[in-house]
A and B are shown apart, each in its own frame.
Chain A
Amino acid sequence: MKSRYIIRIVYSVVKFALSVIVLSVLVFTISRLAPGDPLYAYYGERVEKMSMEEQEQAREKLGLGESIPTQYVRWFQGAIHGDFGISYKYKMDVKEVIAERIGNTFFLGGLGFALIFALSLFIGLFCAWREDKIADRVICGIGTLTSCIPEFWMSLLLILVFAVWLKWLPSSGAYSVGKERSLTDRTAHLILPLIVVVLGHLWYYAFQVRNRLLEEVREDYVLLARMKGLSGKRVLCRHCLRNVLPSYFSMMAIAFPHILGGTYVVETVFSYPGIGTLAYESARYQDYNLLMLVSLLTGTLVIFCNILAQWINACIDPRIGAGRESRQGEVGSL
């Protein structure tokens, strides 16, 4: 029994490691095949004044002279020892560049995720309870509308209304100059991006919860539960929700990187100093090392969350566990 678990864990770790390596090869190759010159990121406009030889030397210095496989092997050797190279644009260790900003992204993404997680469950339950009544229809209408608006456009609209016209909230950044430690100032900067992140994803998940609940409501066990004298609301919360939650948890585990990805777009529009803005800049300016680490971090998170989702599903749903047990029973009886 114990060895089965160890095998499963080892299997998951190997799968995880392989996925990350494949991802790194892909990002490495694609970024170098993309058009553009990384020298611009390092030297800026000066590149145009350099002679061909000087450019060649500069390339050599940055380790870009060799073939792509050789470059990858060198990068990989460094990466194993924790050396991910320097950022061409910021001219310092990429780890430091990211460390400065990753907190901002996780704060925005994490807060957005928590809000989406709780709100979509609540809205989904409410809509399922009021199925096809006025309240449900209105919420469905508004939800579909908000989820169809592209995030960048919604961001611009909110900036226009709340920052430009009403002047209630700041339009960009994570804090005003000189107020880095002021909580109110940080919160004020967070509100608009947070609204966009939440509104952009909320309805998709709330709608999933609503529809799954409505499927459950039509199951036989609901009749039996109502036969006990339970009210419709109790049956929904105690019986149907229990059957929806496993798939909801695994859905949200997969959603985490998705929502984080959503913050990347929002960060760019609001010039919010997070790794989303970094990812965009590094791809634009061929800042290879920075791009590698940002993609790897995001990719690792995605893969990790997917594996986590599988585990959550297997743990919560008694039927999956039962399947395993009964199979063991068969082997034993043979």
Chain B
Amino acid sequence: MPDLLEVKDLSVSFYRPEGELQALKNVSFSLHAGEILAIMGETGCGKSVLCKSILKLLPDMAKIKTGQIYFKGEEISAYSEKQMQRLRGSAFSMVFQNPMTALNPCMNVGMQISEAVRQRQPELSRRGRQERVEELIELVGLDHPGERRRQYPCHFSGGMAQRCVIAIALAAKPEILFADEPTTSLDVTVQAQILELLLKLREKTGMTVVFVTHNPGVAARVADRVALMREGKLYRIAEVEEFFEESIHNQNCI
């Protein structure tokens, strides 16, 4: 399979008043088109920072120290903010950990989805955009899209809100979807539903998924390949069977 995304020797540091904090240390990996790569590791090992530095959504005090990121052979680590904006709304998309804070509480969900649609398909008319929004709401498994789009995030449960976030991510028709612990803040039955939904959507759209999680069960269930991170370093990356087989022999790896 060709490499869709390639990360070479990436180091990221946070420059805080107390001093430098190395969040990523010489991380290298590549992402094959169409696969699901699960990134595992304990809290604070740099999983989210890795996603956000690829998307350049890091806070101002974080800087990429060394390394390059290639998307389809083009170096995007040198891209300006303007160029990144174009990529974010179309090639990349992201689903966040806590859906209740990821949605703007003062804007109805239809508007929030429609914003993403507008970025990706500016040629659509008002009517067309609305239809697309309702289509997306149905796609992520919510009923009554006509009413749903007029509701605010506070009317939604966690699972429903996460479906909305996924709808926003899908509006971009992304080539790579970064799912940053999308099920961590949900209860177990809803977790299963959301996982099911993500897998179904992957089937339908054929997008590549980077799935961040700290749950080995989830990683084993969804991933084609698994990467393990520890203290800012990429510790191990392997096909899913191989990864867990070795881990059984060597308990310390997880």
**A and B part of one assembly:** yes
In the complex, whether B104 has a CB less than 8 A from a CB of chain A is yes
B168 close to A219 (CB less than 8 A)? no
Chain A nearest CB from B119 CB (Å) reads 4
Closest to B120 in A: A229
Q: Which residues of A contact B120 (CB under 8 A)?
A: 229
A242 close to B104 (CB less than 8 A)? yes
* Interface, chain A (partner B; CB < 8 A): 219-221, 223-232, 238-239, 242-243, 246, 317-319, 322
Closest to A239 in B: B104
B106 close to A243 (CB less than 8 A)? yes
Chain B nearest CB from A236 CB (Å) reads 12
CA distance A224 to B113 in the complex (A): 11
CA distance A223 to B171 in the complex (A): 16
Q: Which residues of A contact B152 (CB under 8 A)?
A: 318-319, 322
CA distance A242 to B106 in the complex (A): 6
CA distance A226 to B169 in the complex (A): 11
B119 close to A220 (CB less than 8 A)? no
Q: Which residues of B contact A238 (CB under 8 A)?
A: 115
B105 close to A318 (CB less than 8 A)? yes
- Complex partner residue of B106 from A225, A232, A317, CB under 8 angstroms: A317
Interface of A is mostly: helix
Chain B nearest CB from A214 CB (Å) reads 12
CA distance A227 to B87 in the complex (A): 9
CA distance A243 to B94 in the complex (A): 22
CA distance A283 to B106 in the complex (A): 47
Closest to B90 in A: A229
Q: Which residues of A contact B172 (CB under 8 A)?
A: 228-229
CA distance A18 to B248 in the complex (A): 75
In the complex, whether B53 has a CB less than 8 A from a CB of chain A is no
Q: Which residues of A contact B169 (CB under 8 A)?
A: 227
Chain B nearest CB from A132 CB (Å) reads 8
Q: Which residues of A contact B107 (CB under 8 A)?
A: 239, 242
Chain B nearest CB from A220 CB (Å) reads 4
